[in-house]
Amino acid sequence: MPEPTFEAPPALPIYLDHAASTAVRPEAVAAMEPYLADAIGNPSAHHAAGRRASEALEAARAEVAAVLRAMPEEVVFTSGGTESINAAIKGVAFAQMEAGVGRHIVTTEIEHHAVLYSAQFLERFGFEVEVLPVDEYGRVTPAQVAAALRPDTALVSIGYANNEVGTVQPIAEIGRAVRERAAALGRRIPLHTDAVQVATTHSLDVDALGVDLLSLSGHKFAGPKGTGILYLRRDVPFLELLSGGGQERQRRSGTENVPGIVGMALALRLAQEERDWFVTRTAALRTRLLAAVLAACPDVHVNGHPTEHVPHNLHLCFPELEGEVLVEALDRAGIEASAGAACTSATWEPSHVLLAMGVPLELAIGSLRMTLWSSTTEAEVDYVARQVPLAVHQVRAAAQPAR
């Protein structure tokens, strides 16, 4: 008889937290290197080194603008998604207040905390924040958004895709609904979208989406950390939050991170060029992983919309355990995943997103988010599919009282 053969285990650890951060792609690293080592000029300086840095900066701006189908002067470089979101919401809100337009903000229950906390901050200055409920899948309808608009609405902020459960909102339809309702009110109401989670999976054409502001974060699409993009439509009222040297056309003072911006711009263009392949690849991996976990753990609850979700996000809830404990067990098995958003994991509590979707508290605390990448292999998925049920069993067994 021939000797039995066994599949070699994949190399550990297996990283499945790409919604939190991604590795910088080699092409971006190569593009950044000259500006880290040799091209050291400040892009605001009036000498040859400064001009070289400025030329690189403006080339990156044009590259991003082409992806967004926008004008280069509508692209503002920031330090990341959090700053881009804060600038969009606070910058427009304060400009609208100053112009006497109004102090009414519309958003949803499941937004990233950068959105929700920015809105709460504005309440200290007399703004009224209307937080719309979502359905069981985490979606809001265009009709809901339109119905919330008033003559004093200063801004609407709706995320393109949720960072925890991956549900995608009908942003283009929401954009049309906002424009139609605003026209009926005889005025314009800017629409902002947090697009941090969709740069690898969805179009970022701002005119097709009907958005006036859009936020991106470099390290979510294989660019460097500490880089971000704010698309700001040229005629939208905006009050800058950072004052100083007047960089970014007086909208964001501070010396630009030229190496990071160059790498981010290239990573964004490549992510959009590879979008169809990325979607096909990760959707197949997610389907494979979900089927195996469901077969071994039939009591698992799958969160998010069944079809309208980013393809690489798999968000589950397991009864009778705590998500953080499960994440620790998986980490010991060489699997790096999360119990929710990385930005809140240091002070972990039940997800506001799951609770807003109507997931019971006792189930919400048992959440697990695994986010795949195009580089994830079938062997890695199969290893994870075997380890997750084992970890679930171990955590539940450890939680049982001694007899």
| Rounded-to-integer distance, Cα 354 and Cα 363, Å | 9
Q: Is 361 exposed, middle or buried (0-12, 13-18, 19+ CB in 10 A)?
A: exposed
| Rounded-to-integer distance, Cα 165 and Cα 161, Å | 9
Alpha-carbon torsion (140, 146, 152, 157), positive or negative: positive
Residue tagged 């009907």 (tokens): 210
| Rounded-to-integer distance, Cα 130 and Cα 119, Å | 9
Distances (CA, A) of 242 to 78, 136, 296: 11, 39, 52
Instruction: Pick the closest to residue 89 from 164, 200, 190 (CA basis).
Output: 190
Main-chain phi, psi angles of 192, to 5 degrees? -110, 140
Alpha-carbon torsion (105, 143, 198, 210), positive or negative: negative
| Rounded-to-integer distance, Cα 317 and Cα 323, Å | 8
Two tokens, residue 298: 């039939």
CA 305 to chain centre: 16
Contacting residues for 228 by C-beta, under 8 A, at least 6 apart: 77, 78, 79, 80, 81, 82, 83, 84, 215, 216, 217, 218, 264
Residue tagged 């067994």 (tokens): 397
* Catalytic residue numbers, as ranges: 343
CA 317 to chain centre: 21
